[in-house]
Structure 1
Amino acid sequence: MGDFELLGRIGQGGMGQVFLGESLGGEPAAVKVIKPSVVDSESRQRFAQEIEVLKTIWGPRIAAFLGADAEAEQPWLATEYVDGPDLAKHVKTHGPLPSVLAAALGAVLAEALSAVHAQGLLHRDLKPANVLMGPNGPKIIDFGLAAFTDSNVSLTAPHQVVGTPICMAPEQAAGVKPLTAAVDVYALGALLLFAVTGHYPHEAATPYMVFHLVTDPGTAPDLSGVPKELEPLLAGMLAHDAAGRPSLTEVVQGCRSVIEAQGMKIAQARRRLTAHTAGQRHRESPSDGLPTVAWPAPTHDTPAPAPETGPAEPAAPVPAYAPPVSPATLVEDAPGAPAVPPAHDGSPGVVPAEPRNRPDGDRPDGARRARPAPDRRPPAAPPRPKAAAPSLRHSVQARRTAERLRTAYAAKAPF
């Protein structure tokens, strides 16, 4: 698509599919492609509007625009690829967020939405599935329903409602126009309610029933399970009357108050939110069976323990004349080098380095070193020629891990 090579499908919906792509320069991207069966003049116009919206807005919490072509045979749009699950998947997998982390999330997203509103835009479809928990913090995606607040052009027929009912403001669900910034405040409140409880303000068996509950002034949102410190803020954000909701600036201040009441600064809470979501992602067992493999650490770092995937491979012996090597460095025996016996607990044996030019058997204190028992192997490998240098290649364990990765990816490839 354009200059982007499509590497694999990562999502799909009624209108199209999303692929992991790569630019000519190797930049990863999420490439949305409209299905041929739904390509018509209206879908092209709506897609072109989404492209114009993404060209207009920017910020660290918005997935960046990378390229698009609304006039192509198959219209496509490329945005920044965020390597992380959406908020809905994260909560369903790991459970609700602690209140202080939910407050940090609220402050981050409210500030991002303020920047969107400053450009005269509304998101209109903010929901947990449209917030990606990336390695550098949350990011907002999918501005397909975004609209210019001062625009007189509408792509929807009269009384036609578009959006997601479970996070939709009452006036948006009722088809009221024009909409104001308060619709995104309500949606953010619904998103935060889900983040701390796992449920939405109004839930029912069908979308029609949800619409009825949302638009009914006599039906209050379900705030059960909300931490007490967040209840006043969420109750205000989910008010039925748009005029009764706080502004996004007030939402940020309310979130800061929750965080500071627990003796923490907003920047610290934001870092904890990112560390929390990223840490749980690395600890989880991938549902697709793909093993999690860490990159080798630098030699001065403390290596992380290896995953328990089976008996450990015997480590390569380190020659006495070699410099210290971190266990995280991938080193294999030179041809013909003897193996080191594993310890009694199953971990690789350790070869003590002996200084050169010392008579065999001598110790620094002049005492003789005890000979090994007949039924035990010598603790050190026989000396190798001084001119020989250890060959640096991938270890047996690394090769096996790579093979498991290749096998797992091949089995789960979508096409």
Structure 2
Amino acid sequence: MHIAPLSPHDPAELGGFELLGRIGQGGMGQVYLGESPGGEPAAIKVIKPSVVDSETRQRFAQEVEILKTIWGARIAALLDADAEADPPWLATEYIEGPDLSRHVTRHGALPPLLTASLGATLAEALATVHKQGLLHRDLKPANVLLGPNGPKVIDFGLAVFAESSASLTAPNTVVGTPSCMPPEQARGDRPLTPAADVYALGAVMLFAVTGHLPYQAANINVLFHQVTDPDTAPDLSGVPDDLLPLLTAMLAHRAGDRPALGEVVQRCRTLIEAQGVKVAQARRRLTTHTAAPASEREVLLPTVLAPAPPVAPGDLPDTEPYAPAATTLVLPPGAPEPTPTLVDRPAPGPGSPVAPPPAAPTTPASPPAPAPDADAVPKAEPDPAAAPAPAPRPRSRSGQRLHSAQARITAQRLREVYAASSAF
């Protein structure tokens, strides 16, 4: 998960949550890393004041109400929200880890076994959502976070009640991410059924195992034509033979030809067990494979109570703005070129470069030291003549001390990054 420093124009806190950095942005909103007074990390989603109007506020309020009804181990939980605030905001559980799109871009496609485990896990999560009478409608790689306890689904901003024809969108418009959108959703058919989420899950699994999506085009109207044309088959190149029948069925053009989520779970389970691995073992392997390296976690969200050591240039987090592929408002094929409501970041293709992991520093061999107690301050007394005085505890811009060691060290790292990259 990228964490960029706050800008001078960002608020210091929202709804009691102290803001520590930026973790996502788009045309309509900004997502911050925040922390509650009790030290609970949170992802704070805020609508930009420049785009707040009655319809945007109503849609945001609908998202809040929907999040209140959703529960599940694989769903990022709602912590708090205020759709009437200026600007409107909501806080959800913070998942420490990259999204699937970023992981595949940086580290390459997942092995077939782990893709099957991902499919089974997400299919169960979506089944839970469907049991609550809801559809996600915008499942995509950027909306799957790979946390330390396994994948979780986020961003229910487009979720609607199943079989409901109600919509906050204008007539003749389609809202969603075209590259992961089923044909019936791209055509604007209503009502949508759970088969729409099955198709999107198939697109996510395809991306996980190959690094590309079912359809890709530089022009949005061409992409819509590919998705809605029954004679244009999805690109399944690179799919392993054991996954090909399942993904072919999930990406079927007709909604009625797609398997139900329960069947998806069972078929993924069969693929996993055919390799002599239990489903629970495969999920643990997936979590181990996709979890952020310890060195990366220490840079982003350290938890040790000792003062933060000096940061070497190679240890600094990447400060490139992170804009997850987000909801896009588009017109159906044949309409003039649309203007997206949020920037839809294109997914990487098969030839996209994958950044290698940083090389580990070479150090002389030495006997292993005992593991430090993460909840205790080091007891060794430094030499007063040699050791510098400890740095004062950082404070927020409001003058209050940050709420935990995790927040203090995170904020200190972010300030160092900002100072190093600032032009003034």
Q: Is TM-score (shorter-chain normalized) higher than 0.5?
A: yes
Q: Distance in 1 between matches of 2:246 and 2:366?
A: 57
Tell me the SS of whatever aligns to 1:162: strand
Match of 2:417 in 1: 411
Q: Distance in 1 between matches of 2:294 and 2:178?
A: 29
Residues 290 and 409, structure 1, Cα contact 8 Å, conserved in 2: no
Tell me the SS of whatever aligns to 1:17: strand
Q: Could you list the per-position Cα deviations for residues 51-96 of structure 1 after superposition, in whole angstroms to 9, with x for gaps in the alignment?
A: 0110001111000000101111100010000000000000000000
Residues 96 and 196, structure 1, Cα contact 8 Å, conserved in 2: yes
Asked whether 1:240 is paired with 2:258, we answer: no
Which of 187, 203, 208 is 1:174 aligned to?
187
Is there any run of 5+ residues in structure 1 with no aligned partner, and where? 294-306, 316-323, 337-392, 395-401
Q: Distance in 2 between matches of 1:9 and 1:283?
A: 17
Q: Indicate the structure whose relative CO is greater, using CA pairs within 8 Å and at least 6 residues apart.
A: 2
Identity %: 63
Specify whether residues 262 and 409 from structure 1 end up closer, same or farther in structure 2 by C-alpha distance, changes over 3 A only.
farther
Q: Distance in 1 between matches of 2:93 and 2:254?
A: 36
TM-superposed CA distance for 1:48, in Å, is 0.6
Q: Which moved more, 1:5-14 or 1:55-64?
A: 5-14
Match of 2:159 in 1: 146
TM-superposed CA distance for 1:169, in Å, is 0.1
Which of 133, 146, 151 is 2:146 aligned to?
133
Q: Which moved more, 1:111-120 or 1:6-15?
A: 6-15
Residues 290 and 408, structure 1, Cα contact 8 Å, conserved in 2: no
Q: Distance in 1 between matches of 2:71 and 2:215?
A: 32
Q: Distance in 1 between matches of 2:197 and 2:409?
A: 47
Residues 282 and 292, structure 1, Cα contact 8 Å, conserved in 2: no
Task: Return the TM-score normalized by structure 2.
Answer: 0.72
Task: Return the TM-score normalized by structure 1.
Answer: 0.73
Match of 1:291 in 2: 315
Which of 115, 121, 126 is 1:108 aligned to?
121
Q: Could you list the per-position Cα deviations for residues 372-399 of structure 1 after superposition, in whole angstroms to 9, with x for gaps in the alignment?
A: xxxxxxxxxxxxxxxxxxxxx99xxxxx
TM-superposed CA distance for 1:260, in Å, is 0.5
Match of 1:271 in 2: 284
Specify whether residues 313 and 55 from structure 1 end up closer, same or farther in structure 2 by C-alpha distance, changes over 3 A only.
same
Asked whether 1:8 is paired with 2:21, we answer: yes
TM-superposed CA distance for 1:332, in Å, is 5.1
Asked whether 1:205 is paired with 2:218, we answer: yes
Q: Distance in 1 between matches of 2:17 and 2:34?
A: 6
Q: Which moved more, 1:41-50 or 1:403-412?
A: 403-412
* Letter of the structure 2 residue corresponding to residue 10 of structure 1: I
Q: Distance in 2 between matches of 1:314 and 1:257?
A: 46
Match of 2:105 in 1: 92
Q: Distance in 2 between matches of 1:404 and 1:74?
A: 25
Specify whether residues 232 and 71 from structure 1 end up closer, same or farther in structure 2 by C-alpha distance, changes over 3 A only.
same
Q: Distance in 1 between matches of 2:410 and 2:37?
A: 29
TM-superposed CA distance for 1:326, in Å, is 2.4
* Letter of the structure 2 residue corresponding to residue 215 of structure 1: T
Q: Could you list the per-position Cα deviations for residues 153-197 of structure 1 after superposition, in whole angstroms to 9, with x for gaps in the alignment?
A: 211122210000110000000111111001100000000000000
TM-superposed CA distance for 1:284, in Å, is 10
Match of 1:226 in 2: 239
Is there any run of 5+ residues in structure 2 with no aligned partner, and where? 1-13, 301-311, 318-358, 391-407
Residues 290 and 405, structure 1, Cα contact 8 Å, conserved in 2: no
Which of 23, 26, 33 is 2:46 aligned to?
33
Q: RMSD of the alignment, in Å?
A: 3.5
Which of 169, 173, 180 is 1:156 aligned to?
169
Specify whether residues 41 and 270 from structure 1 end up closer, same or farther in structure 2 by C-alpha distance, changes over 3 A only.
same
* Letter of the structure 2 residue corresponding to residue 182 of structure 1: A
Tell me the SS of whatever aligns to 1:19: strand
* Letter of the structure 2 residue corresponding to residue 131 of structure 1: V
Which of 65, 72, 92 is 2:78 aligned to?
65
TM-superposed CA distance for 1:403, in Å, is 10
Q: Distance in 1 between matches of 2:205 and 2:62?
A: 28
Residues 291 and 405, structure 1, Cα contact 8 Å, conserved in 2: no
Q: Distance in 2 between matches of 1:267 and 1:23?
A: 33
Asked whether 1:81 is paired with 2:94, we answer: yes
Residues 162 and 191, structure 2, Cα contact 8 Å, conserved in 1: yes
Specify whether residues 326 and 39 from structure 1 end up closer, same or farther in structure 2 by C-alpha distance, changes over 3 A only.
same
